[in-house]
Amino acid sequence: MPPESPLYRITYSQAPPPLKNSEQTVARIVYGAHSRAETSQLHVALPPLGASTLHETWSSTQPIERGKDRGFEYAIFGSLMLAYGVFEETGGLQEATRAVYRDMLHLARAQGRPSILRIWNHFPGICESGGAQNRYQEFCEGRRQALLADEQARGAPLPAVTTTGSQADGLVVYFLSSQDAGAALHNPRQTAPSNYPPHLGPHGPSFCRGVAHEEAGAGRVYLSGTASIVGHETQHVGDAAEQARELLRNHAAVLEQARAALPGCSAQLGTLPFEKIYLMRPEDQEAVQSVLREIFGEALPQYFLHSALCREDLLLEMESAWSA
């Protein structure tokens, strides 16, 4: 049986794109100067390189049901839900994160899409100290507490995640959840995040390297934000081109696990439809672009966002998603 068409697609453009007649906009993520949640649109303070905004448009052929709950805006389409919010750091970043994640789990269940497949988190000052720990570690602790406090989340596979620094106030969280669970993918080249050693933070961060998911008969693979880390250690400190090569070896290793997890899945590095790149220093863009050309050839769509990362020695992260 041939796969049915995917439930949704994502289009990137500098201006809002024209839609096909049969499609409706689920939501638009606008990367630019500020963070703000509105109906159907989330602004994230991650400036694209070389343009003032980048529009990431999620569209679907399914009817869309919208609502607001617990500070999140959400859109349901078929078996999936995309939800997002920009939250104040009331009580500090750790406590705010705990509350947002508790609410995320409740919202996903209340809307019948309890399996969280993919999450993006962006907040300012990710590497700055926030008391005893840095702000990334505070975020990780709040997230961990919310997941531990929730009986169903405790037994569920971890989602694919990207967590990076933004350039304006507000904890931005957006996520995709489903009626049915995905399969968590590991990377044999990298230590599982939950087993990171304690010098990186009191507990390992709660995410996995990727998720494979069957959606309306079609396969989809979500790759987490991926860095130049082997084992638990940053590789190629100071060299953006080598970091790019290393992290693409990590992408390839996770895609190999995806092929094993999803029968008939042909995802591999060369068939990824795009790379979304979080770059610490804009001056590294050319070096990273030439590595992408070397590995993917000329045509790969690539979207650069200026973003701080959770370790000071990481110069970039990349994420992607593959669909049958």
Interacting residue ranges for ligand 3EB, rule: CB under 6 A: 140, 161-163, 193, 205, 207, 224-225, 227, 229, 310
Query: Nearer Cβ to ligand 3EB, position 32 or 225?
Result: 225
How far is it, in rounded angstroms, from Cα 217 to Cα 8?
13
Least distance from C-beta 207 to ligand 3EB, angstroms?
A: 4
Based on CB atoms, which residue is closest to ligand 3EB, 6 or 124? 124
Minimum distance from CB of 84 to ligand 3EB (Å)? Answer: 16
Q: Which is nearer to ligand 3EB, 7 or 227 (CB)?
A: 227
In the bound complex, what is the minimum distance in angstroms from residue 97's beta carbon to ligand 3EB? 11
Nearest approach in angstroms of CB 24 to ligand 3EB is 30
Cβ 278 to ligand 3EB, closest distance in Å?
10
- Residue 206 beta carbon to ligand 3EB: minimum distance, rounded to whole angstroms: 7
Give the per-residue SS3 of the chain. CCCCCCCEEEEEECCCCCCCCCCEEEEEEEECCCCEEECCEEEECCCECCCCCEEEEEEECCCEEEEEECCEEEEEECCEEEEEEEECCCCCHHHHHHHHHHHHHHHHHHCCCCEEEEEEEEEECCCCECCCCEHHHHHHHHHHHHHHHCHHHHHCCCCEEEEEEECCCCEEEEEEEECCCCEEECCCCECCHHHCCHHHCCCCCCCECEEEEEECCEEEEEEEEECCEEECEECCCCCHHHHHHHHHHHHHHHHHHHHHHCCCCCCCHHHCCCEEEEECCHHHHHHHHHHHHHHHCCCCCEEEEECCCCCCCCCEEEEEEEEC
Tokens in use for 68?
């607001």
Is the CB of 42 or the CB of 229 nearer to ligand 3EB? Answer: 229
CB of 146 to ligand 3EB, least distance (A): 13
Compare residues 44 and 324 and give the one whose CB is closer to ligand 3EB.
Answer: 44
User: Closest CB to ligand 3EB among 174 and 207?
Assistant: 207
